[in-house]
Amino acid sequence: MFAPKKTAMKILMVATEASPFVSVGGAAQVVNHLSKALELSGNEVAVFIPKFGFISEEKYQLTALYEGLKVPTGDEQNPYLMCNIKTAEFPSKVKAYFLENQEYYEKRANVYGYSDDPTRWALLSRGVLEFIRLKIFIPDIIHCNDWHTGLVCNYLKSDYANDPVLSKIAAIYTIHNLAFQGMFDHKHVSELDYDDGKSLVAPFFDNRLKTQNFMKRGILYSDVVSTVSKSYSKEILTPEFGEGLDKLLLELKGKIFGIVNGIDYEEMNPATDSLIEKNYDINSIGTREVNKKALQKEFDLPEDSKALLLGFVGRLDNMKGVDLLLNTMEYVLRDYPIQFVQIGGGDGGLVEMLHQLKNKYPKSVGIHPYPNFTLPRLVFAGADCVVYPSRFEPCGIVQIEAMRYGAVPIVRKVGGLSDTVVDFDSGTLEGTGFVFSHFDEYALYGQIVRAYENYRNKPLWLKLQKNAMKADFSWFYSAREYVKLYEKAKSIVGKQL
C-alpha cells in the first residue's frame, strides 16, 4: 500500500460490469479491485455501470440520485432516451453510480447477448457523459473498459469537444481482450460495412450502429490506451495477435501501454479463506494436503497424495487452449499417476471432449463443465498445479490466484501468462512455474512430465510452492502504474486546451 498523493485525481470508471453488483467476466473483478486500490492510494474514484434488473436495490442499498436524465440518441424521430441515476457504495466505500433505463437494462435477464447490444452500450457511453454534465461527479479522468465503452471516447472528442466541462477531461481506454470488437465478425467485414472509425457515430436506432467498430473508436479517440499486460501490449502490434487492428495499433503505439492485472490479496488469502477445507500459509504448506484430499473427494477421485493433481478453472474456450490441454491429457493419463479436475462452462464441443476424457479415465478425471464461484478456491488450495496453455492471453488472473494458494502454474509463454510466471530452474531454485513456448502437444506434454518429476522431489517442490506464494501481483502496484498513465493523459489534454 502506498501513501496518498497531495494532488489526488478524480477518476470515473465506466464499464458494463463491476463486482459485486454484476460479475460475468474477469473485467468485473478488475474494475472493483483497481478502483479500491486507487481509492486507497488517495484518489477519489467512482464507477459508472448500467442498473440491470437483477441488481438488488435492497441488498446493496441503492438510492435514487437523479430522475429524468435526457440522453441524446441522434435520431430525429426519437431524440432522447429517458434515464435515472441511482447510487450506492462498494464494500471498499468507492462510490457507484447506476444508469437506469427500463427497456435496455431493467427488463433484461442477462448482461450480454441481445441483438440491440450496440444501442445498449451507446446509451451507456453517452449516458455517462450526460451524467458528468450534471456536475454531481466531475472527473479528471474517464477510464473506459473494453469495446462496450469505446464510444465514450468517441463522443467525448467529437460531440462534446467544445463542452466547457467535458472538454477538460482525459480519457484512457483499456483493452481487456482485442478479440471482441463489437457485435459483428471483425475478421470478415465487407467493404460496404467496413468502419474506418472516423465517421460520425450512427444514431442509436440506425442499423449502421451494429457495424461500427466500438473497439477501434475507443483506440482512436482515447488519449491513452492500456492493455492488461506488458507482453500483450506488444503482441497486438503483430498480425498474429492484432485481430485486424495491428496496423492501426502499430501506427499509434506511442500511446499504448501494458499494465498487468492484479488480485486482491486480502480476499484471496489461504490463511483466512472460508471456502477451503483447511487454512494455511507459506509456513504451514504441509497442511495443504487436507485440501487436496477434499478436492479429490469432491470430484470422486481416489485420495492419493502421490498423484500429481492438475486443475483447470476458467471458460471452456479455444482461446484458452482447452482443446490442446484435453488432447495432451489423453497421453499423460495413460502413462503417469496424474489426476485432472476442471471447473467452468463454455464451448459445447469442448464439453463433449471433457465427457469423453472422463469416461475413458473415470478414476483420474473429475469435471464440472458449468460456472461455479466457490469451487475454484478449493482447486487453488488443493491442486498441485494449474494448467493454462492459451493460444493468446491478454492477462489472465487465475494463474496469479493459484500461485497465491501454492498451486504451481504450467503455462504457455504468451501475453499475461508470460509476464506473471517465471520458468523454474531446479539448479538455481528460482522461478514460480513451468513455461513452454510452442503451441503443440509435445511442448505441453513435456512440461507436465517435468512438473511430475519435480513433484516427486518433495524438498524441491516445497521450494517451488513457496516461490509461487511469495510472488506479489497486488493491485497497489498496478494502481501506481495506472496513476502514471492518468497523469500522462491529463498532460495531453492540458496541451490541447
pLDDT in tens, 106-117: 999 999 999 999
* Stretch 488-494: mean pLDDT: 92
- Average pLDDT of the chain to the nearest whole number: 94
Is 296 strand, coil or helix?
Answer: helix
* pLDDT tens digits along 262-285: 998 988 999 999 999 999 999 999
User: Is the per-residue pLDDT at 188 higher than 90?
Assistant: no
Ranking 237-241, 331-335, 372-376, 417-421 by mean pLDDT, the lowest is: 372-376
pLDDT value at residue 387: 98
Look-up of cell digits 447510487: 87
How far is it, in rounded angstroms, from Cα 38 to Cα 423?
Answer: 31
* Stretch 378-389: mean pLDDT: 98
* pLDDT tens digits along 242-258: 999 999 999 999 999 99
Q: Report angle CA 291, 292, 296 to the nearest 5 degrees.
A: 115
* Stretch 11-37: mean pLDDT: 93
Specify whether the CB–CB gap between 395 and 416 falls below 8 A: yes
How far is it, in rounded angstroms, from Cα 215 to Cα 174?
Answer: 10
Q: Report angle CA 322, 422, 326 to the nearest 5 degrees.
A: 15
Tell me the domains of the chain and their CATH numbers: 10-262+476-496 (3.40.50.2000), 285-472 (3.40.50.2000)
Is 363 strand, coil or helix?
Answer: coil
235 is written with which cell numbers?
Answer: 503482441
pLDDT band at 192, cuts 50/70/90? confident
How far is it, in rounded angstroms, from Cα 92 to Cα 39?
Answer: 9
